[in-house]
Amino acid sequence: MLPHLHCTTECPGTCKCDPNGAVLCVGSSITDVPKQIPATTYLLQMHNTNMTVINERSLAGLDLMLRFSLTHSLLHTVHPEAFRVAPQLLSVKLSSNRLVALPPRIFSPLTHLDQLLLDGNRLESIAPKMFEGLSDLQVIDLSRNNLGSLAAELFTGLSKLHFLNLGRNSIKELPPTIFHPLTNLKTLFIYNNEIKMLDGGVFAGLDNLTELKLHYNQIASLPPQLFCSLGKMNTLTLSANQLQTIPEKTFYHMPEMKKLTIYNNPLLTLPDQLMGHMPQLQEFYLYNTKLTTLPPNLFANMSGMITLNVHINDRLSELPSDLFCCLPFLDKLSLKSNNLVQLHPQLFSRLTRLRLLYLNDNKLQGLPGDIFRALTQVSTIDLKNNQLTTLPGESFLTNSALKFLNLSGNPWDCGCGIRGIAKWIKHNQGVVADNDEVICSTRDDRARRTISSLSDDDFLHCDALMVKSRLPTWTTKPTARPQSAPPPTTLVTTATPEPQTGPPHVTVLPSSTLALPLQASTSSLPNTDGAPPSEAPSAHMPTVFYHKMVLEVHREYVHNNHQRGVDFIWFLPSETTFTWFLMFSHILLVAVGVFLLLATLYYLYRLNKSINTLRAEP
């Protein structure tokens, strides 16, 4: 027999009635379910009302209503018989009210209920048989309450449940078998509670679970093989707990994992065998720990990784050379705010698709010249706030896609070692995002200058410093002369090399300039006249050679040129092989020249003889 329907199109003044049967009632003047609601209503939503009690007749007369919602109101009491007049309900939502307790089995008349949302209240406990008989329940939300404990049999009979949210409560312990009846559960949230330990079999039987959130608890340790039955898991959060270590193989047998977080734990070590085959894992978070290093194969089974955040670990000072060996699709890598002092040259050698690299706020003192060589697609590199004093000039030569580079906050030494990278910065100022803040820290006339402002003239002295240690000892002495002789106009300089096994030679870098300060050597010249050595140069000594002499490898003949107070001497290299080659070439050219000259003379002789013969003929 069909229920008796009151055909009416009236709609209460505080409500909006949809022709299809949806009614929305909003306002502080509402203290109970309005009486003039159309009988054809299937969805009733009440929001921001002053309704404090759902009594035994509040829902009467709405025989077609399937979904009832009363949220963000002053509700604090529900009558034990409130839902007996609406057994057809499929969904009840009483979120964000002031409920402290509910009568036991209050929902038992709703045998077809599939959704029950009680989040955002002040519930301190749930009766052990609160859900008894509700075998069709699929969704339960008890989050944001004050629950301290749960009965072991609370979810008995709820084999169809696939979503359960217990987050943001005060739960301290979970009964070992509490989730065993939930064989079809897919999503389980237990985050933001006060759980300190978990039983090894608490998740046994949850073969269909895909999402488990345990972050922001007080879990200090994990039982071995805690997650071994969760083969369909794709999201697992264990961040913000008290874990100092994790048992080996804890994350094995999770081939569908896509998101795993263990950050914000006081982790001291990680086992070598921790991660199983996770080809679909696209994100991994590991930060705010006490780790000093990482296992070399930590990410070896995560071939599908796209985003990797290993940052804000203030004790992490070392990374294995092959740590990122097996991440061919990695797009973003964050290593910022660690304690890294140096990096292995091959650390990034296989990250050929990496676009974003963050190394800022570490303690890096230097970088290998080829560390970024394989990063042909990288667009952003952040190196600011480290302890870098210089970088190899070839550091970014292969990074053709680089668009943003941060280098500020480093104590750059603008001596000779920075010449190469300074030249690169000067030609790529549009790439260096903080170019105006990349400043010299040296205590000389370059202090506070930007590196991009340094020119080639600022490094004229550098080649001497680079090869000074390779030079023989130079001794300069005046030519012996009688006292009556006129002062000499030249200075005789001889090279006295250090004792060595091979032939003495001077090594000079190609296309480089060698500055030889001579003041120290001239002040200690041998005194042939027995007079005390002079502290100043002789008046007869050419002053251009007194302060600095510069030797430069050049392709021209021996020559000297005075420029800006420095005398440049250019000369040919003295390598034996090259010298013999030049000598042979010279002899060959002379021989060819002589041959051509003789051939020309012979030709002219024959030509003259022929002309004379022609003239002699009649």
pLDDT in tens, 325-352: 999 999 999 999 999 999 999 999 999 9
Q: Measured in whole angstroms, how far is the alpha carbon of residue 266 from the centre of its chain?
A: 21
Q: What is the pLDDT of residue 560?
A: 52
Q: How far apart are CA 241 and CA 219, in angstroms?
A: 5
Percentage with pLDDT > 90 across the chain: 69
Q: How far apart are CA 330 and CA 353, in angstroms?
A: 6
Question: For the chain, how many residues are written?
Answer: 618
Q: How far apart are CA 32 and CA 404, in angstroms?
A: 61
Q: Is the pLDDT of residue 520 over 50?
A: no
Which of 63-67, 93-97, 380-384, 593-597 is predicted least confidently? 593-597
pLDDT level of residue 617 (50, 70, 90 thresholds): low
Q: How far apart are CA 327 and CA 306, in angstroms?
A: 8
More confident residue, 193 or 564: 193
Q: What is the pLDDT of residue 10?
A: 82
Helices (H) and strands (E) in the chain, counts: 4, 26
pLDDT level of residue 482 (50, 70, 90 thresholds): very low
Q: How far apart are CA 106 and CA 89, in angstroms?
A: 13
Read off the tokens for 525. Answer: 């010249």
Average pLDDT across the chain, whole number: 84
Q: What is the pLDDT of residue 72?
A: 98
Q: What is the pLDDT of residue 7?
A: 45
Average confidence (pLDDT) over 397-419: 94
Tell me if residue 494 falls in helix, strand or coil: strand
Tell me if residue 183 falls in helix, strand or coil: coil
Tell me the torsion sign for CA atoms 197, 202, 207, 209. Answer: negative
| Under 8 Å between Cβ of 541 and 521 | no
Average confidence (pLDDT) over 301-318: 95
Q: What is the pLDDT of residue 494?
A: 35
Q: Measured in whole angstroms, how far is the alpha carbon of residue 113 from the centre of its chain?
A: 48
Read off the tokens for 181. Answer: 């009846």
CA distance readout (Å), 539 to 195, 300, 566: 91, 74, 18
- Residue 264 phi/psi, 5° resolution? 55, 45
pLDDT level of residue 281 (50, 70, 90 thresholds): very high
Q: What is the pLDDT of residue 576?
A: 62
Q: Is the pLDDT of residue 283 over 90?
A: no
pLDDT level of residue 159 (50, 70, 90 thresholds): very high
Q: Is the pLDDT of residue 518 over 70?
A: no
| 139 DSSP β-pair partners | 115, 163
Q: What is the pLDDT of residue 459?
A: 82
Q: How far apart are CA 255 and CA 259, in angstroms?
A: 12
| Under 8 Å between Cβ of 184 and 207 | no
CB-CB neighbours of 448 under 10 Å: 8
Average confidence (pLDDT) over 454-480: 58
Q: How far apart are CA 50 and CA 532, in angstroms?
A: 109
Read off the tokens for 133. Answer: 């008989």
Average confidence (pLDDT) over 547-554: 45
Which of 265-269, 356-360, 456-460, 493-497 is predicted least confidently? 493-497
Q: What is the pLDDT of residue 59?
A: 95
Per-residue pLDDT reduced to its tens digit, 120-145 = 999 999 999 999 999 999 999 999 99
- DSSP letter assigned to residue 450: B
Q: What is the pLDDT of residue 408?
A: 96
AA identity, residue 380:
T
Most confident of 95-104, 276-285, 450-459: 95-104
Which of 230-239, 443-452, 456-465 is predicted least confidently? 456-465
Q: What is the pLDDT of residue 442?
A: 78
Percentage with pLDDT > 70 across the chain: 79
pTM comes to 0.72
Per-residue pLDDT reduced to its tens digit, 361-379 = 999 999 999 999 999 999 9
Q: How far apart are CA 483 and CA 473, in angstroms?
A: 29
pLDDT level of residue 4 (50, 70, 90 thresholds): very low
Q: How far apart are CA 483 and CA 479, in angstroms?
A: 12
Among residues 167, 168, 172, 229, the alpha carbon closest in space to that of 201 is found at: 229
Residue 335 has, within 13 A of its CA and on its CB side, a CA count of 25
Q: How far apart are CA 556 and CA 547, in angstroms?
A: 25
Q: Is the pLDDT of residue 272 over 70?
A: yes
Which ranges constitute the DSSP H helices of 439-507?
Answer: 462-467
- DSSP letter assigned to residue 544: G
Average confidence (pLDDT) over 212-230: 96
Domains and CATH numbers, the chain: 12-131 (3.80.10.10), 147-290 (3.80.10.10), 292-456 (3.80.10.10)
Q: State the residue for tokens 């897919």.
A: 186
Q: How far apart are CA 542 and CA 41, in angstroms?
A: 111
